[in-house]
Amino acid sequence: MEAMLQFLVLPSGLLVLCLAGALVLSPWRRMRPGAAGLVALAAVIYLVFGSGPVAHALLGGLEYRYPAPENMPELDHIVVLAAYGAHDPRVSVINQVNSHALIRLVEASLLAREHPEAILTVTGGGEVPKLMADVLIVLGVPESRIRVEALSSNTFESALHLQAELKDQRFALVTSAGHMSRAMMVFRGQGLEPIPAPTDYLSFADIWSAQIMAKPGNLLLSDLAIHEYIALVWYRWRGLDGRGEDPGSH
């Protein structure tokens, strides 16, 4: 239910809902003006949120909020937030994680090379953290330096479960740039001071470099951005930014 509600407040979800409503109403003559209105609304949603400058402004407002420091201080720990993966023996381990996970892991492996004493922790839920740890080994990180935390189903739980281990530690937090605002909020809410190490940038800093004409790729960027803005509001409302502890919520 929660996933359905999240989908329906995203631009693409609203667009689908409008078109579905138009399809339902169109067989009845008296309802056809309403159906036409829904089609028009769907077109407006697509033209606005599928436009390059709009999509890149929405996502860029998140991605450039926490830049990495120009000179990264010496690190005790590197924390990588899990993305998506699925075990599949038919393909190599690198192909068992998605592109977002792989980019985060490349960033983490570069940091590991620069900070040879730092421990790397991959945090998330299920099998994904272990798959990502296997990729780190392929990328040249010694297995002895890698830790897996696989009990966290969301970013708040990752911060909660790692709080004791990371207290008084100097650590970098590696995640996609668009997700960094939420991650920084919840880790700071646990009394931690992560050093942002954003990666996987999807937006242009100069939004007018993006194509003005609407296209599906831009609609996806708008979806990603609005999902994160909604999650930030949700976390604050539920007190998951340090004002309360509710690990069962997303």
pLDDT in tens, 13-46: 999 999 999 999 999 989 999 999 999 999 999 9
CA-CA-CA-CA torsion sign (210, 215, 220, 225): positive
Residues 44 and 134 in one domain: no
Residues 95 and 191 in one domain: yes
Residue range 70-90: mean pLDDT, rounded:
95
Residues 129 and 101 in one domain: yes
What is the average pLDDT score of the chain? 92
Residue range 127-136: mean pLDDT, rounded:
97
Q: What is the pLDDT of residue 242?
A: 57
Residues 88 and 137 in one domain: yes
Asked if pLDDT for residue 212 goes beyond 80, the answer is yes
Residues 6+ apart with CB under 8 A from 208: 53
Asked if pLDDT for residue 248 goes beyond 60, the answer is no
Residue range 59-76: mean pLDDT, rounded:
95
Residues 52 and 85 in one domain: no
The pairing of beta strand 119-123 with beta strand 146-149? parallel
Residues 6+ apart with CB under 8 A from 207: 52, 53, 56, 57, 60
Asked if pLDDT for residue 121 goes beyond 80, the answer is yes
Rounded CA-CA distance 177/54 in Å is: 18
Domain ranges, residue 23 = 2-63+211-238
CA torsion angle 102 105 111 113 (round to 10): -100
Count the domains in the chain.
2
Rounded CA-CA distance 172/241 in Å is: 19
Residues 46 and 97 in one domain: no
Residues 125 and 59 in one domain: no
Residue bearing the bigger pLDDT, 238 or 182: 182
240: enclosing H helix or E strand: none
